[in-house]
Amino acid sequence: MKDSDLEVYSVGGAVRDDLLGLPVNDRDWVVVGSTPEAMIARGYKPVGKDFPVFLNPSTHEEYALARTERKTKSGYRGFAINASPEVTLSQDLLRRDFTINAIARDMDGRLIDPHNGITDLRAGILRHVSPAFSEDPVRILRAARFVARFGFSVSPETLALMREMVKGGEVDALVPERTWQELARGLMEKNPSRFFTTLRNCGALARALPEIDALFNTSMTPEKSNGVNYGTHAMLALDDAAQHRHPLAVRFSVLAHNVAHIKGDADLLRTMCLRIRATNECRDLGLLMAHYYSEIQRVLELGHDSIIDLLQNCDAWRRPQRFTHLLQACASNARTLSEVSQKDYPQADHLLRVLAATQAVDVKTIAQQCPDKGLIAEKIRKARAAAAEQAITKRASHK
């Protein structure tokens, strides 16, 4: 049997991004009129847990049987799936979230657009396809993520529906893992601040991420920011991190620093990270920034011994890349507060110069040549301190 015998359509993000002139990295396909047994007989490998999805044996792209969904209980998993051969393409498209994702293209290149998704694409509008949108709380997070990615606006009727979903408690049914998944994706979008402002506009931020929502209700000290709230500052710093294309942990730590700062300790941040199942990498970098941002800001005033303590506390010698990420997060925060210029962050240059000098210390040789093993750590510290002092002195002489 040949695949040309199948009724197959390209759907979803691939069609949307192609129409927007964006790169298409992954393609999803819908198969109409087939069964799991027929797909397996063609050599397709079943991979779907909740509904029939198969990998093409040649391209390894995902092919899903056309399906409908019926709400059976609260939460995004509370659905009964019907993927019988009788399900039509129109029925499959009707269950999708937004009109811009409900466009299909057949194998001859013809577009099928029953919900005017192309019009909404051109207008930059996110609009729900049907009232069934309200049955899946994840769609609120996806709406926020698409706003952050494309800069689209949410249609008034869709925003109203999202607010009704929040009032109805649908957001409360989100599992932590899914919240973190969408949060991480939202942080990595082009304008991540819009992810949070969209959630805040519909009331979902206070329910899903109350620690971040609280930032908007806490003013910073006037001498730092003319009395703006921590939320506004955090959004500016977050977008700065995105403009510099920093990785996820850096972007998260910009938020984390502000969450910890409003309470004066890191307990609130630890609680949030535990609840939303943040990755260890994101949590740890956020805690580092919460603890050491102020010290890093005044590092140009510190002596070499204090800098050695800072590098030690940040585990910079064993984890230099994480330390670099910490400095990137500090720079985004500082630029937003106008504590440094938009291009320069001398604290990072200074610390990386000292780190490089101390990394040149041959700790292995020191350990081998030290007769008293109890003194090894002290000797290594003295050697690193001497290297740090030399680097700082050299920098000062070049000013």
Superfamily covering domain 1-123: Beta Polymerase, domain 2 (3.30.460.10)
> If you search the block for the tokens 């964006």, which residue do you land on?
22
The answer on pLDDT for 346 being more than 60 is yes
The answer on pLDDT for 349 being more than 50 is yes
At residue 162 the predicted structure's pLDDT band, cuts being 50, 70 and 90, is very high
How distant, in Å, are the alpha carbons of 100, 105, 154, 172 from that of 129?
Answer: 9, 18, 13, 23
The two three-digit tokens of residue 37, written as one number: 């047994």
Tens of pLDDT, residues 25-81: 888 899 999 999 999 999 999 997 777 899 999 989 999 999 988 766 655 555 678
At residue 397 the predicted structure's pLDDT band, cuts being 50, 70 and 90, is low
- How do strand 125-126 and strand 153-154 relate by DSSP bridges? parallel
Domains 1-123 and 137-208 share a fold: no
What lies within 8 Å, CB to CB, of 238 at 6+ separation is 187, 192, 193, 196, 251, 254, 255, 332
Q: What is the mean pLDDT of residues 221-236?
A: 76
Tens of pLDDT, residues 277-289: 999 999 999 999 9
Task: Give the type of residue at 353.
Answer: R
Residue 76's pLDDT is: 52
Mean pLDDT, the chain, rounded, equals: 90
Tens of pLDDT, residues 244-274: 999 999 999 999 999 988 777 788 999 999 9
What lies within 8 Å, CB to CB, of 72 at 6+ separation is 78, 79, 80
The answer on pLDDT for 339 being more than 50 is yes
What lies within 8 Å, CB to CB, of 18 at 6+ separation is 24, 105
Residue 144's pLDDT is: 97
Domain edges within the chain? 1-123, 137-208, 210-335, 349-399
The two three-digit tokens of residue 47, written as one number: 């991979």
H helices of the chain, in order, are 13-19, 36-41, 89-94, 117-123, 138-150, 156-167, 176-187, 193-202, 204-208, 210-213, 222-225, 230-243, 248-261, 267-276, 280-297, 304-313, 320-336, 346-359, 363-369, 376-397
The two three-digit tokens of residue 131, written as one number: 């009232």
The answer on pLDDT for 21 being more than 60 is yes
Residue 374's pLDDT is: 80
d(CA 185, CA 305): 40
Tens of pLDDT, residues 321-333: 999 999 999 999 9
Q: Are 74 and 135 spatial neighbours (Cβ–Cβ below 8 Å)?
A: no
At residue 366 the predicted structure's pLDDT band, cuts being 50, 70 and 90, is confident
pTM for the structure as a whole: 0.88
Out of 114-118, 170-174, 335-339, 391-395, the most confident range is: 114-118
- The CATH class given to the 137-208 domain equals mainly alpha
Residue 49's pLDDT is: 73
- 304-343 in b/e form (b: 16+ CB < 10 A) is beebbebbeebebbeebebbebbbbbbbbbbbbeeebeee
Residue 262's pLDDT is: 79
Residue 263's pLDDT is: 72
